[in-house]
Amino acid sequence: MTWGILGFFALILLIVLSSATFITIDSGERGVLFRPFDGLEKERVFAPGFHVVAPWNTMYVYEVREQQLEEQMEVLSSNGLNISLDVTVRIRPNFGQVPLLHENFSKDYIERLVRPEIRSSVRQIIGKFTPEELYSTKRDEVQTLITEELANTLAANYVDLRAILIRDIELPDKVRTAIEEKLEAEQASLKYEYILTREKQEAERRLIEAQAKADANRILAASLSDNILRDKGIEATLELAKSPNSKVVVVGDSGNGGLPLILGGGN
């Protein structure tokens, strides 16, 4: 009887092992185990490696490497115009929350969660801006706002947003042409204003320079007297008389209060 019982259990064990599932989880993957009798094993994430799974259990293997999604969308601007966008989004599941991701969205989480949230966030943010802002000055701001909105939503649902990039924004031809013409006119206006400002500054500079010269001349004229001029003249005459190539002949006074006359000649 004892050997019969042992043989029976050995047979059962052999049957279980022979029908067991042998699973290898590769690098960049994680496993989630579902037990029909106990439910989903939420507290454990199966790491890469070799695993033996009982035939009545199921191992769901998730790709946790970064994945890139391409989205082409038609959205409305704040004034109701249709705008075409090409958006690239890079995501990956949160490693430690794969069981919760599986419980809420299953392995089809990209179609059930990620793509709808991308479209929702893009429409919500784009709808706050005009086509002109999207085409010219606000593109980086729009990208930042979409990133913040989408990152918060996905994080709350066990997915990490790695990056989002708006590759292209296409406007209706008439709208794009009108915006380009307006931008060109604004640039021309700014250039004209710059030229006017520069000319005004140059005129002010010249006026200030002329005023400074006039003030200097007035101060100099006010400081000069007949005695100072005569002394300066005498000093200059004496310096000239010291020249070895000059002969000094004092003829007399050149006038009332004038300076001596000097006739110079070579040796």
Same domain, 189 and 249: no
209 or 12: whose pLDDT is higher?
209
For residue range 152-203, list pLDDT tens digits in order: 999 999 999 999 998 888 876 666 666 666 666 666 677 767 777 888 888 8
pLDDT of residue 267: 47
Token reading at 142: 């729009």
Residue 251 has pLDDT above 50, yes or no: no
Residue 6, in any domain of the structure: no
Q: Is residue 231 part of a domain?
A: yes
Range of the domain at 189: 178-223
Are 53 and 20 in contact by the 8 Å Cβ rule? The answer is: yes
- Rounded mean pLDDT, 196-219: 80
- Domain with residue 160: its CATH number is 3.30.479.30
Q: What is the dihedral of CA 170, 171, 174, 179, to 10 degrees?
A: -100
List the structure tokens of 140: 């980086």
What pLDDT is stored for residue 46 in this prediction?
93
Contact call for residues 60 and 46 (beta carbons, < 8 A): no
Residue in the structure block whose two tokens are 């690098």: 27
pLDDT band at 111 (very low <50, low <70, confident <90, very high): very high
111 in the same domain as 136: yes
* Cβ–Cβ < 8 Å for 102, 60: yes
Q: Can you tell me the distance from the alpha carbon of 154 to that of 158, in angstroms, rounded to the nearest whole number?
A: 6
pLDDT at 19: 47
pTM (2 decimals)?
0.60
Domains held by the chain: number: 4
For 204, phi then psi, to 5°, come to -65, -40
**Residue reference for tokens 């004209």:** 192
Q: Are residues 151 and 183 in the same domain?
A: no
